Amino acid sequence: MALKRVATTHLPTQAGRPKVVVVVGGSIAGLSCAHALLSAGWEVTVVEKTGSPPSGIPNGAGLGLDREAQELLCRWISPELVDDGTLPLSIDMNRAIDSEKKISWTLARDDDFGFRAAHWADLYSLLHGALPPGIVLWGHLFLRCHSSEDASTVRIDARVLSTGEIVEISANLLVAADGCLSSVRRQFMPDFKLRYSGYTAWRGVLDFSGKEDSETITGLRRAYQELGHCLYFDLANKTHCVLYELKNKKINWIWYNNQPEPKLKGNSVTMKISDDIVEKMHNDAEVIWLPELAKIMKETKEPFINVIYDSDPLPRLCWGNVVLVGDAAHPTSPHGLRSTNMSISDAGALGCCLETWGPENLTSALEQYQSIRLPVVSKQVLNARRMGRIKQGLPLPDGRCFIQQPPPQSTAESFGRGIDAA
Range 317-350 burial, b when 16+ CB lie within 10 A, else e: bbbbbbbbbbbbbbbbbbbbbbbbbbbbbbbbbb
The total number of structural domains in the chain stands at 2
Cβ pair 290, 104 in contact under 8 A? yes
Give the residue from 246, 281, 310 where a domain finishes.
310
Instruction: Specify the CATH number for the domain of residue 93.
Output: 3.30.9.60
Any domain includes 399: no
Same domain, 275 and 319: no
Give the residue from 278, 293, 310 where a domain finishes.
310
Cβ pair 227, 244 in contact under 8 A? yes
Same domain, 183 and 297: no
CA angle 351-353-354, nearest 5°?
Answer: 65
Closest CA to 181 of 409, 24, 41: 24
Cβ pair 195, 33 in contact under 8 A? no
| Residue 145 belongs to domain spanning | 3-58+124-193+312-391
Give the residue from 285, 310, 335 where a domain finishes.
310
**pLDDT value of position 167:** 94
Same domain, 216 and 276: yes
What is the band of 259 on the pLDDT scale with cuts at 50, 70, 90? very high
pLDDT over threshold 60, residue 12: no
**pLDDT value of position 404:** 61
pLDDT over threshold 70, residue 347: yes
pLDDT digits (tens, 9 = 90+) for 41-79: 999 999 999 988 876 554 468 899 999 999 999 999 999
For 395, residues 6+ apart whose C-beta sits below 8 A from its C-beta are 389, 401
The predicted model scores a pTM of: 0.89
Cα–Cα distance for residue pair 117/253, rounded to 1 Å: 12
Cα–Cα distance for residue pair 244/334, rounded to 1 Å: 15
Cα–Cα distance for residue pair 150/128, rounded to 1 Å: 33
Same domain, 108 and 219: yes
Any domain includes 416: no
Same domain, 168 and 306: no
Same domain, 211 and 262: yes
pLDDT digits (tens, 9 = 90+) for 188-209: 999 999 999 999 999 999 999 9
Determine the distance from the C-alpha atom of residue 422 to the mean position of all C-alpha atoms in its chain, rounded to a whole number. Answer: 32
Same domain, 285 and 179: no
Instruction: Specify the CATH number for the domain of residue 370.
Output: 3.50.50.60
Cβ pair 362, 321 in contact under 8 A? yes
Cβ pair 362, 44 in contact under 8 A? no
